[in-house]
Amino acid sequence: MIKQASGKTLYTAIVLISFIVLIGLLVHLTYNTFVLNEQQYQKTEKLLMKEYYSKSIRNDKLYPGGQKILDYHLNVATLHSIDSLYKQESVHLQPTIDNIYRQLVHDLKENNTMDTVFDNIKELYQLDGEWEYTLIINRISVTISDGKKIDIYKHPNDKLDLIDGIRIGGELLTIKATNLISNIIVSSPEDYSHEINFILYADRNDRKWVVFKLVAPIFLFGVACIAAIIVIYFITYKNWIRQKMLADMKSDFVNSITHEFHTPISTILIANKNLQNNPQINNHPVIVSITSIIERQSIRLQKLFSQVLDITSMGGYAIQKEEVNLRELLKNTVTDYKLNIKDKNTTIIFSTDDINIDIGLNPFFFTTMIVNLLENAVKHNLKDSKLIVVELRDKGKNIEISISDNGEGIADKDISNVFKKFHRSSQTKTNGLGLGLYYVKQCVQNHGWTMGVSSEERVGSRFILTIPKKQ
C-alpha cells in the first residue's frame, strides 16, 4: 500500500511539473510573439512616414518654416555676440544663452507646422485617429570662432531619454526606439553656424493593446489546449484510479476464489474416486451410475471454472511472453490432444510448411487457445467420421495457422457473434457456457494477432490465425 501511494505521488508530481513547464513554455512563446509583433508592427507605414517627412523638410529643419525661426534667433550677429562674451569670459554669457534658448523654443512651439504635416501623412496613407507624433529636439549648439562649439541646449546625459528633451509638438504618450521615424542631425563645419539634432516619433497611442489583440488568439488557443489537456488528464486519471481499484479487486477475488473453488471440487473428485474403488458398490448399479455422473459433472465444472479463471486473469493485463519455436509448440499441442481424445472416430491431421521461427508468445495461453479450437471442432461435429486439419503456413510477412473441420458449420446470422462472451448458437446441441471462442479472441488480442473465420452450414468451419513474423 505504501509503494502504491508512493507511485501515485510520483506520478502526480511528474504531471504537475509537466503542466508547469507547458504553461511556462506557452507564456514564453506568447511573450516572444508579442515582442516580435511589436517590433515589426506598422513597419511599412513608418517607412512611408519617414520618406514623406524627409521630403517636407528637404530645405528646412524640424518642420516647414523651422529654418527661418532658427536663422532668426541664431543669426550671425547673435553668434558674434556670444563669441565676444565667451572670449571675455563674461558673466553675461550664460544668461544670454538661456534667453536665446527660451525665445527660440517658444517660437518653435508657437509656429509649429508639424501638426499639418502629420495630418497630411494620415490622410495620404489612410491612418486612423489613434496615430500621434512627437517632435523632439535633442541638442542645439552654435559654432563660434576657431571652431569652438557652445551648447544652447544639450540633453543632460547625452542619451536618448527623450522625456527630458525639448518636446516641440505632438501628443504621442509613449516614446521609445520602436516608434522612431527619423533622427536627423544638421550641422556645418564653418564658424558662426549652428547645429541641431531633432527626432520624430510616431505611433498609435493604443499600440500595446492592438499588438496584444494580434497575439491574443494564439494565446487563448494555447490556454484552451492546456485546459483541454488538464480536463482530459483528470478524467483519464480518475478512470485509471477506478480501473486500478477494480483490477486489484478482481485480482484479489480471483486469487481467493481459485482456492475456494478448486479445493472442494478436488475433494469431491477424490471422495467420488474412493467411492468408485469400493468393491461393495459393484452390486449397486444405481450408485455406480450416480458416481459416474458425479465424476463427469465435477470434471466439467472444473474445466468450466478453469476457463473462466483463465479469461479473467488474461483480461486487462499484459501477458508474459517468451520466444518459442512455433512449429514445435503447435505440433506438440496437437499431438498431446490426439493422445487424450476419447472419440475414436476423430481424425486430426497436422500439416506444416518448412517453418523454423521463434515467436514471442505465452505458451500456456497459446496452448489453451489451440486446445479450445480443437475441442470446439470436435464438440460441434455430429458426423460419424470427424476430420480436423491443422495447418501451419508461411505467408511472407505473416505466419498462418488454420484449423478446419467437417462439422455442422456456423449460420451466417451467427458468424459475426461467435467470439462474443456467452454467445451460443440457437442451433447448437451441445452443452457449454459460450466462453471457448471468447477465450480464443482474448488470447489473440492480447498477443496482437488477428483471427478470422469462414464457415458453411453442414460443410464445416475454418478458423485462421494470422501471426506477424516481426512483432
What are the DSSP calls for 281-295, one per residue? Answer: GGG-HHHHHHHHHHH
Per-residue confidence band for 399, with pLDDT thresholds at 50, 70 and 90: very high
Q: Examine the pLDDT at 430 and tell me if it is beyond 60.
A: no
Hey, what's the torsion of the CAs at 68, 73, 76, 78, to 10 degrees? 170
* Residue 107: pLDDT over 90: yes
Summarised one tens digit per residue, pLDDT across range 223-261 is: 888 888 888 888 887 887 887 787 677 666 666 666 666
Q: What is the mean pLDDT of the chain?
A: 81
Does the predicted TM-score (pTM) go above 0.85?
A: no
Give one DSSP letter per residue of 85-96, joined into a string: HHHTT-TTHHHH
Instruction: Supply the pLDDT for residue 299.
Output: 74
pLDDT for residue 272: 81
Helices of type H across 315-454: 326-340, 363-379, 436-447
Residue 458's pLDDT is what? Answer: 81
* pLDDT confidence tier of residue 161, bands split at 50, 70 and 90: very low
Question: What count of other Cβ atoms lies within 10 Å of the Cβ of residue 196?
Answer: 22
User: Looking at 9-85, which runs of residues are DSSP E strands?
Assistant: none
Please tell me whether residue 112 adopts helix, strand or coil conformation.
coil
Question: Smallest Cα–Cα separation from 407: which of 428, 438, 393?
Answer: 428
What is the enclosing helix (H) or strand (E) of 3? helix 2-40
* Rounded-to-integer distance, Cα 160 and Cα 275, Å: 112
Residues 6 or more apart whose CB falls under 8 angstroms from that of 430 comprise 379, 380
* CA separation for the pair 221, 361 (Å, rounded): 46
How far apart, in whole angstroms, are the C-alpha atoms of residue 265 and residue 287?
Answer: 20
State residue 179's pLDDT score: 83
Task: Name residue 305's amino acid.
Answer: F
Residue reference for cell 529636439: 137
What pLDDT is stored for residue 35 in this prediction?
67
Q: What is the largest CA-CA distance in the chain?
A: 155
C-alpha cell at 3: 509503494
Q: How far apart are CA 132 and CA 202, in angstroms?
A: 6
pLDDT at residue 162, rounded to an integer = 43
Other beta carbons within 10 Å of 195: 18
CA 127 to each of CA 104, 131, 210: distance values in angstroms, whole numbers, following the listed order: 32, 7, 14
**Nearest-angstrom CA–CA distance, 86 and 80:** 10
In this predicted structure, what is the pLDDT of residue 429?
Answer: 53
How many Å apart are CA 319 and CA 39, to the nearest integer?
Answer: 59
Tens digit of pLDDT for each residue in 300-347? 677 666 666 665 655 555 567 889 999 999 998 898 888 778 777 889
Q: Assess whether pLDDT exceeds 70 at residue 159.
A: no
Which of helix, strand or coil describes residue 214?
helix
Q: What DSSP assignment string belongs to 234-294?
A: HHHHHHHHHHHHHHHHHHHHHHHHHHHHHHHHHHHHHHHHHHHT-GGGGG-HHHHHHHHHH
Scored b (16 or more CB within 10 A) or e, 387-419 reads bbbbbbeeeeeebbbbbbbbbbbbeeebeeebb
Give CA–CA dist 38/179, Å, rounded: 10
Report the sign of the C-alpha dihedral through residues 253, 259, 265, 268, in that order: negative
pLDDT beyond 90 at 438: no
Whether the pLDDT of residue 36 is over 70: the answer is: no
HSE of 205, CA atoms in CB hemisphere, 13 A: 11
Alpha-carbon distance of 113 to 119, in angstroms, equals 10
Three cell numbers, residue 195: 547645429
CA dihedral angle for residue 60, residue 63, residue 68, residue 73, rounded to 10 degrees: -120
2 has a pLDDT exceeding 50: no
Predicted pLDDT of residue 157: 56
